[in-house]
Amino acid sequence: MTEIKILNAESSDYSQEAYSLLLSLGTVKQSDLDRKSLIKILPEYDVLIVRLGNYIDKEIINVAVKLKAILTATTGLNHIDIEYANQKNIKVISLQGEYEFLKNISATSEHTIGLLLSLLRNIPDASNSIKENIWDRNLFKGKEISGKIFGVLGYGRIGTKVAKYAQAFGAKVIVYDVRKITSNKKDIVIVDTVDELLENCDILSIHVPFNKSTSNLIDKSKIDKMKKTSIIINTSRGEIINEVDLLSALETSQISGAALDVLANEHISPIKQSHPLIEYAKTHKNLIITPHIGGATYESMHKTEVFMAKKLSEWIKSMNEGLH
């Protein structure tokens, strides 16, 4: 692996600093490839860099006859068939476990609050009304974060930041995490069960990783425990919420609203599949959806791309040392 070929398959606005680091490792092709184009050229490359635009499944892995590593600047990995990549001895290099580095990345935490404010204050509809030459504040009377009980499901890197932001708005924060945690943060209450969190919160903000234990974690039985005035914010992974049950809860006013940055199986381009939640959002004000832009800021992506390029460099160095 002294001379490697690197394919950056989702390189729009890619960090120049990170690109320079990649060039020091071998030859680099930067492009924005759809699935068909990726399958066509991937057999030539040793390293593949992706974001979330392509689902790296068995079909793609099988054509990648030279592939030794997949680089993804994400913590979630449900856009890659990890088990099959492991079977093929392909190393997946990601941001999972990089806690110290990720403490300085705030994009998703900030977007969580942005979604919340957009929903509570009817910001998208109010803005759109101006484009229709309607100036009527009475149409868009909203609600405040201040004084609400803000439930944080998952008190990890993002959850702790969101809790801090919520407190700054004057909310009372309650937290549940599957780990046994203690908090030295003033005015944060740690509850013992998910049900206790759901029963008490006005706002539920989801920040747990997607795995077998969290798949469909928020289903009808859980939503039914929430207040009818409560709202759900999800910037984690779509698969954590049972979307059929969420849609039903919105339609029947079992909860007041939801704001989502993620959808289940979003790698199959749900907007092209007439997704039920997207169709509902087109005609209802109590659901806002954004296309997984939580981590998509220039600052955070620059930092993570440089960090990942350095991780790749270290991995290549360790592989080369192992050959001697």
Q: What is the DSSP letter of 137?
A: G
Q: Choose among 23, 116, 112, 103: nearest CA to 303.
A: 103
Phi and psi torsions of 212, nearest 5°: -60, -35
Q: What is the DSSP letter of 322?
A: H
Specify whether 51 is catalytic. no
Instruction: Name the amino acid, one letter, at 259.
Output: A
Return all residues near 17 (Cβ < 8 A) that are at least 6 apart: 302, 305, 306
Specify whether 266 is catalytic. yes
Specify whether 83 is catalytic. no
Element housing 249 (H / E): helix 243-251
Q: Which among 111, 243, 292, 305 is annotated as catalytic?
A: 292
The sheet carrying 69-72 orders its strands as: 26-30, 4-8, 47-50, 69-72, 91-93
- Assess contact for 69 and 91: CB atoms under 8 A: yes
3-state secondary structure of 32: strand
Q: Which among 51, 237, 267, 275 is annotated as catalytic?
A: 237
Tally Cβ neighbours within 10 Å of residue 319.
14
Instruction: Name the amino acid, one letter, at 22.
Output: L
Separation CA 166–CA 321 (nearest Å): 48
Separation CA 295–CA 237 (nearest Å): 12
CA distances from 106 to 157, 174, 232, 298, 299 (A): 9, 20, 20, 12, 9
Q: Which among 10, 239, 266, 305 is annotated as catalytic?
A: 266
Catalytic residues: 237, 266, 292
